[in-house]
Amino acid sequence: MKVVKEALIILIISGAGFLCSLYAAKFSKLAYILTFLFAVVFLFSMYFFRDPDRKKVFNENEISSPADGTVLSIKKEDSENIIVIRIFLSIFNVHLQRSPMEGKVSETKFTYGKFHIAYKPEAKDNQRNIIKIEGTDGRWAWVEQITGAIARRIACYVKPGDNVKTSQKIGMIYFGSQVALYLPSDKVEITVKEGDKVEAGNTVIGLWKKN
Protein backbone atom coordinates (compact mmCIF):
# COMPACT_ATOMS: atom_id res chain seq x y z
CA MET A 1 0.00 0.00 0.00
CA LYS A 2 1.38 3.41 -0.98
CA VAL A 3 1.44 6.06 1.76
CA VAL A 4 2.19 9.77 1.79
CA LYS A 5 5.62 11.01 2.81
CA GLU A 6 4.26 12.50 6.06
CA ALA A 7 3.68 8.97 7.35
CA LEU A 8 7.29 7.82 7.12
CA ILE A 9 8.53 9.12 10.48
CA ILE A 10 5.49 7.65 12.29
CA LEU A 11 5.93 4.30 10.56
CA ILE A 12 9.65 4.19 11.34
CA ILE A 13 9.14 5.01 15.03
CA SER A 14 6.20 2.65 15.53
CA GLY A 15 7.91 -0.11 13.53
CA ALA A 16 11.10 0.22 15.54
CA GLY A 17 9.10 0.31 18.77
CA PHE A 18 7.26 -2.84 17.75
CA LEU A 19 10.50 -4.73 17.09
CA CYS A 20 12.14 -3.53 20.31
CA SER A 21 9.14 -4.36 22.49
CA LEU A 22 8.78 -7.73 20.75
CA TYR A 23 12.37 -8.53 21.72
CA ALA A 24 11.79 -7.24 25.27
CA ALA A 25 8.77 -9.52 25.58
CA LYS A 26 11.21 -12.41 25.98
CA PHE A 27 12.08 -11.00 29.39
CA SER A 28 8.86 -9.31 30.49
CA LYS A 29 5.24 -10.11 29.75
CA LEU A 30 4.39 -6.42 30.19
CA ALA A 31 6.28 -5.73 26.97
CA TYR A 32 3.53 -7.57 25.09
CA ILE A 33 1.25 -4.61 25.81
CA LEU A 34 3.74 -2.24 24.18
CA THR A 35 4.10 -4.65 21.27
CA PHE A 36 0.36 -4.54 20.72
CA LEU A 37 0.17 -0.74 20.98
CA PHE A 38 3.02 -0.18 18.54
CA ALA A 39 1.41 -2.63 16.11
CA VAL A 40 -1.90 -0.74 16.31
CA VAL A 41 -0.17 2.60 15.65
CA PHE A 42 1.76 1.16 12.72
CA LEU A 43 -1.26 -0.46 11.07
CA PHE A 44 -3.54 2.54 11.63
CA SER A 45 -0.90 4.88 10.18
CA MET A 46 -0.59 2.67 7.12
CA TYR A 47 -4.36 2.94 6.66
CA PHE A 48 -4.84 6.60 7.51
CA PHE A 49 -1.94 7.91 5.42
CA ARG A 50 -2.76 5.78 2.38
CA ASP A 51 -2.30 7.34 -1.03
CA PRO A 52 -4.55 5.46 -3.48
CA ASP A 53 -4.10 5.81 -7.22
CA ARG A 54 -6.70 8.06 -8.79
CA LYS A 55 -6.45 7.84 -12.57
CA LYS A 56 -9.74 9.35 -13.74
CA VAL A 57 -9.32 11.77 -16.64
CA PHE A 58 -11.54 14.86 -16.32
CA ASN A 59 -12.65 16.89 -19.31
CA GLU A 60 -12.22 20.66 -19.34
CA ASN A 61 -15.77 21.33 -18.12
CA GLU A 62 -15.66 18.95 -15.14
CA ILE A 63 -14.75 20.05 -11.61
CA SER A 64 -13.17 17.39 -9.42
CA SER A 65 -13.97 16.98 -5.76
CA PRO A 66 -10.99 18.31 -3.77
CA ALA A 67 -11.45 15.79 -0.95
CA ASP A 68 -12.81 12.41 0.11
CA GLY A 69 -15.73 12.53 2.52
CA THR A 70 -19.36 13.52 2.97
CA VAL A 71 -20.89 16.69 1.55
CA LEU A 72 -22.07 18.73 4.56
CA SER A 73 -23.55 21.76 2.83
CA ILE A 74 -23.85 23.51 -0.53
CA LYS A 75 -24.80 27.18 -0.24
CA LYS A 76 -23.87 30.80 -0.64
CA GLU A 77 -22.44 31.96 2.67
CA ASP A 78 -20.95 35.46 2.61
CA SER A 79 -21.49 36.47 -1.01
CA GLU A 80 -24.14 35.91 -3.67
CA ASN A 81 -21.32 35.46 -6.17
CA ILE A 82 -19.67 32.52 -4.39
CA ILE A 83 -21.06 29.05 -3.72
CA VAL A 84 -19.38 26.99 -1.00
CA ILE A 85 -19.32 23.19 -0.85
CA ARG A 86 -18.23 21.87 2.54
CA ILE A 87 -16.95 18.28 2.85
CA PHE A 88 -16.42 16.45 6.14
CA LEU A 89 -13.52 13.99 6.35
CA SER A 90 -13.75 11.32 9.03
CA ILE A 91 -10.64 9.49 10.22
CA PHE A 92 -11.56 6.69 7.81
CA ASN A 93 -11.36 8.88 4.71
CA VAL A 94 -8.27 9.48 2.59
CA HIS A 95 -6.97 12.85 3.78
CA LEU A 96 -5.17 14.06 0.66
CA GLN A 97 -6.55 17.10 -1.12
CA ARG A 98 -6.52 17.38 -4.91
CA SER A 99 -6.96 20.31 -7.25
CA PRO A 100 -10.55 20.71 -8.49
CA MET A 101 -9.41 22.32 -11.75
CA GLU A 102 -6.50 23.12 -14.01
CA GLY A 103 -4.87 26.48 -13.48
CA LYS A 104 -2.22 28.47 -11.62
CA VAL A 105 -1.96 28.87 -7.86
CA SER A 106 -2.38 32.59 -7.20
CA GLU A 107 -2.23 32.53 -3.41
CA THR A 108 -1.91 30.29 -0.36
CA LYS A 109 -2.77 31.66 3.07
CA PHE A 110 -2.56 29.96 6.45
CA THR A 111 -4.73 31.30 9.28
CA TYR A 112 -4.51 30.31 12.93
CA GLY A 113 -7.87 29.56 14.51
CA LYS A 114 -9.86 27.31 16.79
CA PHE A 115 -10.36 23.54 16.84
CA HIS A 116 -14.09 22.94 16.75
CA ILE A 117 -15.46 19.55 15.66
CA ALA A 118 -15.03 19.46 11.88
CA TYR A 119 -18.66 18.73 10.98
CA LYS A 120 -20.06 21.60 13.09
CA PRO A 121 -20.94 24.96 11.46
CA GLU A 122 -18.50 26.79 13.74
CA ALA A 123 -15.62 24.79 12.19
CA LYS A 124 -15.32 27.57 9.61
CA ASP A 125 -13.49 29.51 12.37
CA ASN A 126 -10.92 26.74 12.82
CA GLN A 127 -7.25 26.80 11.88
CA ARG A 128 -7.13 26.65 8.09
CA ASN A 129 -5.18 27.09 4.88
CA ILE A 130 -6.65 28.36 1.65
CA ILE A 131 -5.29 27.58 -1.82
CA LYS A 132 -6.53 29.90 -4.58
CA ILE A 133 -6.38 28.64 -8.17
CA GLU A 134 -6.99 30.79 -11.24
CA GLY A 135 -7.96 29.27 -14.59
CA THR A 136 -8.97 30.54 -18.01
CA ASP A 137 -12.21 32.27 -19.06
CA GLY A 138 -12.71 33.72 -15.60
CA ARG A 139 -12.74 30.34 -13.91
CA TRP A 140 -11.38 30.06 -10.39
CA ALA A 141 -11.59 27.83 -7.32
CA TRP A 142 -10.47 28.14 -3.73
CA VAL A 143 -9.71 25.02 -1.69
CA GLU A 144 -9.81 25.63 2.06
CA GLN A 145 -8.17 23.02 4.30
CA ILE A 146 -9.72 23.18 7.78
CA THR A 147 -8.52 21.34 10.87
CA GLY A 148 -10.90 19.56 13.23
CA ALA A 149 -10.98 19.00 16.99
CA ILE A 150 -8.13 16.48 16.82
CA ALA A 151 -6.18 17.56 13.75
CA ARG A 152 -3.35 19.97 14.43
CA ARG A 153 -1.42 20.06 11.18
CA ILE A 154 -2.06 21.05 7.59
CA ALA A 155 0.36 20.22 4.79
CA CYS A 156 0.29 22.34 1.63
CA TYR A 157 2.12 20.92 -1.40
CA VAL A 158 1.86 23.96 -3.68
CA LYS A 159 2.92 27.61 -3.68
CA PRO A 160 1.92 30.75 -5.60
CA GLY A 161 2.99 30.53 -9.23
CA ASP A 162 2.69 26.74 -9.45
CA ASN A 163 0.67 25.30 -12.33
CA VAL A 164 -1.67 22.50 -11.30
CA LYS A 165 -3.71 19.93 -13.19
CA THR A 166 -7.18 18.72 -12.28
CA SER A 167 -6.87 16.02 -9.58
CA GLN A 168 -3.23 16.84 -8.81
CA LYS A 169 -2.35 16.40 -5.12
CA ILE A 170 -2.12 19.80 -3.43
CA GLY A 171 -2.12 19.06 0.30
CA MET A 172 -3.15 17.00 3.30
CA ILE A 173 -4.82 17.49 6.68
CA TYR A 174 -4.04 15.23 9.63
CA PHE A 175 -7.02 13.25 11.02
CA GLY A 176 -10.71 14.26 11.04
CA SER A 177 -11.16 17.56 9.23
CA GLN A 178 -13.14 19.60 6.72
CA VAL A 179 -12.46 20.91 3.21
CA ALA A 180 -14.41 23.79 1.71
CA LEU A 181 -14.52 24.44 -2.03
CA TYR A 182 -15.39 27.98 -3.15
CA LEU A 183 -16.59 28.50 -6.74
CA PRO A 184 -18.07 31.39 -8.76
CA SER A 185 -21.83 30.78 -8.49
CA ASP A 186 -22.65 32.17 -11.94
CA LYS A 187 -20.18 29.91 -13.75
CA VAL A 188 -20.88 26.48 -12.26
CA GLU A 189 -23.56 23.85 -12.04
CA ILE A 190 -23.17 21.70 -8.91
CA THR A 191 -23.75 17.99 -9.57
CA VAL A 192 -23.68 16.66 -5.99
CA LYS A 193 -26.07 17.14 -3.10
CA GLU A 194 -25.80 17.27 0.68
CA GLY A 195 -25.11 13.84 2.16
CA ASP A 196 -23.34 12.52 -0.94
CA LYS A 197 -20.08 10.61 -0.55
CA VAL A 198 -17.33 12.05 -2.73
CA GLU A 199 -13.75 11.13 -3.62
CA ALA A 200 -10.96 13.49 -4.61
CA GLY A 201 -9.83 12.75 -8.13
CA ASN A 202 -12.82 10.48 -8.81
CA THR A 203 -16.04 12.42 -8.24
CA VAL A 204 -17.27 15.17 -10.55
CA ILE A 205 -18.54 17.74 -8.07
CA GLY A 206 -19.69 20.28 -10.64
CA LEU A 207 -19.58 21.47 -14.24
CA TRP A 208 -18.34 24.73 -15.72
CA LYS A 209 -21.13 26.43 -17.65
CA LYS A 210 -20.41 27.17 -21.29
CA ASN A 211 -19.75 30.83 -22.01
Work out the angle at residue 167's Cα, subtended by the Cα atoms of residues 11 and 159, and round it to the nearest 5 degrees: 75
Topology of domain 62-208, per CATH?
Glucose Permease (Domain IIA) (2.70.70)
Residue 126: band (very low, low, confident or very high) from pLDDT cuts 50, 70, 90: confident
pLDDT over 80 at 92, yes or no: yes
Task: Please report which confidence band the pLDDT of residue 9 belongs to, taking 50, 70 and 90 as the band edges.
Answer: confident
Amino acid at 61: N
Residue type present at position 99: S
Q: What integer pLDDT is reported at residue 78 of this predicted model?
A: 85
Which pLDDT band, with edges at 50, 70 and 90, does 83 fall under? Answer: very high
Where do the domains of the chain lie? 5-48, 62-208
Rounded Cα gap, residues 47 and 9, in angstroms: 15
Burial class (CB in 10 A: 0-12, 13-18, 19+), 210: exposed
Query: How does pLDDT run across 24-76, given as a tens digit for each residue?
Result: 887 887 888 889 999 998 998 888 888 999 989 999 999 999 999 999 999 99
Mapped onto helix, strand or coil, the DSSP state of residue 142 is: strand
Res 69: pLDDT:
95
| Residues facing 82 on adjacent strands | 184
Model pTM above 0.85: yes
19-23, 108-112, 189-193: which has the minimum mean pLDDT?
A: 19-23
106 annotated active-site: no
Distance of alpha carbon 1 from alpha carbon 52, whole angstroms: 8
One-letter amino acid for residue 178 of the chain? Q
Cα-based distances in Å from 150 to 36, 45, 98, 124, 206:
23, 15, 22, 15, 30
- Please state the length of the chain: 211
Q: Which of 14, 65, 177, 185 is catalytic?
A: 177
**Are the C-beta atoms of 64 and 98 separated by less than 8 Å?**
yes
Asked if the model's pLDDT at residue 117 lies above 80, the reply is no
pLDDT for the residue numbered 151 = 62
Tens of pLDDT, residues 12-35: 998 998 899 988 887 887 888 889
Over pLDDT 90: what percentage of the chain? 60
Mean pLDDT (whole number) for 127-153: 90
Separation between Cα atoms, residue 19 and residue 14, nearest integer Å? 9
